[in-house]
Homo-oligomer: A and B are copies of this chain.
Amino acid sequence: MDSRLLAAFDPRSVAIIGASRHEEKIGFVILRQLIRAGYEGRIYPVNPSAKEILGLRCYKSVADVPDEIDLAVIAVPAKVVPSVMRNCGAKGVKVAVVISSGFSEIGNKELEEKVIRIAKEHGVRVIGPNCMGVFNPEKGLDMLFVKDELLPRCRPGSVALLSQSGSVGTNMMSALRKMNMGLSKFVSYGNKADVDEADLLEILREDPTTKVVSIYLEGVRDGRRLMDAIKRTVPVKPVVVIKVGRSQVGERAVASHTGSLAGSSDIYLAALRQAGAILVETFEQLLDVSKGLSMQPPSGGRRVFVITNGGGYGIMAVDELERRGIVLPRIPEPIKRALREEFPPYYSIDNPMDLTADSTSDQYRRAMELLGSSDECDSLLVIPLLGIPGFDPMEVAEVMVDFRKRFKKPIVVSFISHTKETDRAKEFMEKNDVPVYESPERAALVIQKLVEYGEILRRIKSSRR
């Protein structure tokens, strides 16, 4: 790990080079957002022609700042970036985030190389150019150049999001926010002329607030380096990857979008899988799986039991689980006998288990307890349909949360929240690390990925013996 890069996430001081008085300029928005986000370090706007911006004293050059600078955010025209970088180097800046565009993405490869050469001479690590940079809500470090009124930010959380593309990354952030999820770190690294996914993985692996690293991947520059970084990270925390450009048309589009080769999909996907990445195929899957893996332990095996009070939903869940290669055993005989004695005769004590519309939260508790204690059950997918008289949503939520606390097995829940009361129950579950999905199939996918991560960890463990 390059410890200089820690300054990208938790700097003691930040210089905004290209800070502006004009509200519509990127250099204004970045400064404004940094202040609004409550960043507690020292902020130094740099602008040769302003005395003060947003109440902060301005400096003509970073050289004039009477303090050490950990992090420089550079938002000046591309052609000025080399000289700015030289100043940053002389000042001892650890990380420079180059927001400016106008480099290799428009064919200006030489200028980009020049900037990186200067940075390397001075030991400055560079994020970008042509990027949106870093967002660390825990530290109030917000350099995203879209106002939060237009792009509301995520609260602090445990998912780290990496995306070359700023627009993909920020829209994923928005989607996470709508799911009521938080972010530990977000990085858009644009042309990744210096810092890339591998560097960032090294940092995030050691980051205590990050439980899952989720990566939107278009092209790969140095495949071996990335695979090695993933391999080193996976034993500590899961790495979820959506690799786009898997189709022929998509591959062509990647080439024209980031100038990088998408590479032969099958080969990359196989390498990523081999390295232990959890691969997903859609935008929504990336978010769902990140949420599930951030809340739940990996599964000890592939035997999953489904419990519901809505028979049809149980069937949809097992259809999807079986399609995904999950094993759905019959209920173990001793458990079946016990529940047969306690439950009404028309309950279906099978897998899926259908407790019908007459079910109570105590009956859920009982069935879950028996399966939780059984060696023959690895994970539970529970579909308690609320909105039924006498089935108190908060009581049901407590049953789910108690299972989460008592057993080390994954539990994933699905129901449609109808009312404020069921919203509260959902919120309570998710605050206590029980993930809820609105469709049984989305919950089934997450179970499958918890199974997959468990298998990856066991494979690593056995290969180390």
* Interface, chain A (partner B; CB < 8 A): 24, 105-106, 146-147, 149-152, 163, 165, 167-168, 170-171, 174-175, 178, 216, 218, 242, 244-250, 252-254, 256-258, 281-284, 309-316, 318-323, 328, 346, 348, 350-352, 354, 357, 385, 387-389, 415-416, 418-419, 438-442
Contact = CB atoms under 8 A, between A and B. Distances in A.
Contacts of A439: 175, 282-284
Contacts of A152: 418-419
A111 B163 CA distance: 63
17 contacts: A168-B312, A171-B385, A171-B415, A175-B439, A178-B438, A246-B319, A249-B322, A249-B351, A250-B319, A253-B311, A253-B315, A253-B350, A253-B354, A256-B350, A257-B312, A281-B320, A284-B441
A216 B418 contact: no
Nearest to A442: B284
A352 B244 CA distance: 13
Contacts of A419: 149-150, 152
Given A246-B323, A257-B314, A283-B313, 11 more contacts: A165-B310, A167-B312, A244-B312, A247-B322, A253-B318, A253-B354, A256-B354, A257-B312, A257-B348, A281-B319, A284-B442
Contacts of A321: 247, 249
Given A257-B348, A351-B249, A389-B146, A171 B310 contact: yes
A17 to B, nearest CB: 21
Contacts of A440: 282-283
A313 B171 contact: yes
A252 B105 CA distance: 56
Contact of A318 (B151, B174, B249, B357): B249
B257 A174 contact: no
A180 to B, nearest CB: 14
Contacts of A315: 218, 244-245, 250, 253-254, 257
Contacts of A418: 150-152, 174
A445 B328 CA distance: 29
Contacts of A314: 253, 257
B441 A282 contact: yes
Contact of A256 (B254, B323, B348, B387): B348
Nearest to A164: B312
Contacts of A350: 252-253, 256
Nearest to A163: B312
Give me the 5 closest cross-chain CB pairs, A-B, nearest first. A247-B322, A168-B312, A257-B311, A282-B441, A167-B310
Contacts of A283: 313, 316, 439-441
A320 B149 CA distance: 32
Contacts of A244: 312, 315-316, 319
A40 to B, nearest CB: 27
Contacts of A258: 311
A421 to B, nearest CB: 8
B150 A318 contact: no
A147 B319 contact: no
A67 B138 CA distance: 70
Contacts of A309: 167
Contact of A150 (B149, B316, B328, B389): B389
A389 B312 contact: no
A318 B245 CA distance: 8
B245 A319 contact: yes
Nearest to A418: B174
A253 to B, nearest CB: 5
